[in-house]
Amino acid sequence: MIVQGNTTLAACQNFDRETHVNWLSVRGLQDKELIQRIGEEYHIHPLIVEDILHTKQRPKVESYGNMLFITLRLYYIINEQIKSQQISFVLQNNVLISFREHDTGIFQLIKDRIEAGQNQIRRKGEDYLLYSLLDAIVDNYFVVLDSLSERIQALEDDITLHPQKSQLLKLQKLKRTMITMRKHVWPVRELFNNLERNEIDFFEQENKPYLRDLNDHIFRVIDTIETYRDILTSLMDLYHSMLSNRMNEVMKTLTVLSSIFIPLTFIVGVYGMNFDNMPELHSQNGYFILWGIMGALTLGLIIYFKKQKWF
């Protein structure tokens, strides 16, 4: 049974907790009094309630006797912006309570399957339901990483074609996102390891293989994050290298032009001196001859630079 929407806490008290699996989905953590009342109704430890309300928790799993508490970070995309929020779970006998800051629709597919009644979630216990929700969160990591991959690829193409300062700002923003995501995802590996190593006895034996599947997925997520972070570091090096190459091209062009005009400037300087005994000054065709020499010299330097592959 799923409890969501505007269902009151009083209505939840009438649900059968002995023979049916109940999923209480709480959206919004602004009403602290309501969260505390839920904690009292379901005998949730005060430390768990405190962790639920404090939305900057490190991902972790804790056992409190007859209940299991799990909290981790969900990443999702809204309007092409990468967002995150804390999601917490409290697992008891035939009861699973989930706490979210906002509704992102990530669990909608699971709800639809439960309501259709044709999925094994309906036939299994609350531990399998918890696995399904955790699996949806991990799968959404891949969705976010795919989006980041497209942005990285587009940025790499832009840097290769025409490096600009705005691209460096985008690179820094993407790298900061990857570092933050890594900080939130890395502890999830420890969380799933604790579940898989049977340190927490809330999963039935037949459902233990699903925990190994979660562990495998989170390893892939972490490996992908590390790969993308290295790519971003390489792109920063590529950006600086492209700028350096561009500056070298500019300097090479200026050097070639300077090399061409230096001998011409020397000739002009020599014939600009005010000496009377300069025979070329009184030559009738001296002006045209000098232009011919300067043109031939320029052409010769251009041919030489071309053979040297300076441009």
Q: What radius of gyration, in Å, describes the C-alpha atoms of the chain? A: 35
Q: Put the strands of the sheet holding 95-100 in their side by side order.
A: 2-3, 22-27, 95-100, 81-92, 68-78, 60-63
pTM of the model: 0.77
CATH of the domain at 108: 3.30.460.20
Statement to judge: residues 184 and 298 lie in one domain: no
pLDDT of residue 260: 84
- pLDDT given at position 6: 47
Residues 239 and 274 grouped into a single domain? no
pLDDT confidence of residue 286: 79
Q: Please identify, among 243, 276, 294, the residue that sits at the C-terminal boundary of a domain.
A: 243
Based on the domain organization, do 254 and 238 belong to the same domain? Answer: no
Q: Which phi and psi (to 5°) does residue 177 adopt?
A: -65, -45
Would you state the pLDDT for residue 16?
58
- What's residue 184's pLDDT? 93
Both 44 and 20 in one domain: the answer is yes
Number of domains in the chain: 2
**Same-domain check for residues 118 and 254:** no
| Token pair belonging to 283 | 């030559």
* Residue where one domain finishes, among candidates 228, 243, 258: 243
Its domain, for residue 290, covers 248-307
Cα separation, 195 vs 119, whole angstroms: 24
pLDDT of the chain, 311 residues: tens digit per residue: 444 444 556 556 556 566 678 888 888 888 888 888 888 888 899 999 999 999 888 999 988 878 899 999 999 998 888 999 999 999 988 889 999 988 888 888 888 888 877 677 777 888 889 999 999 999 999 999 999 999 999 988 888 888 888 888 888 899 999 999 999 999 999 898 888 775 556 777 788 888 888 999 999 999 999 999 999 989 888 888 888 877 888 888 888 888 888 888 888 888 777 777 777 777 778 788 888 888 888 888 888 888 877 76
The answer to whether residues 212 and 274 belong to one domain is: no
Same domain? For 195 and 101 the reply is yes
**C-alpha to C-alpha distances, 226 to 81, 150, 168, 220, 237, nearest whole angstrom:** 21, 16, 20, 10, 17
Check whether residue 100 and residue 218 sit in a common domain. Answer: yes
Say how many CA atoms lie within 13 Å of 125 toward its Cβ.
16
207 and 143 co-located in one domain: yes
Q: What is the pLDDT of residue 134?
A: 94
CATH number of the domain at 290, please: 1.20.58.340
Q: What is the pLDDT of residue 1?
A: 41
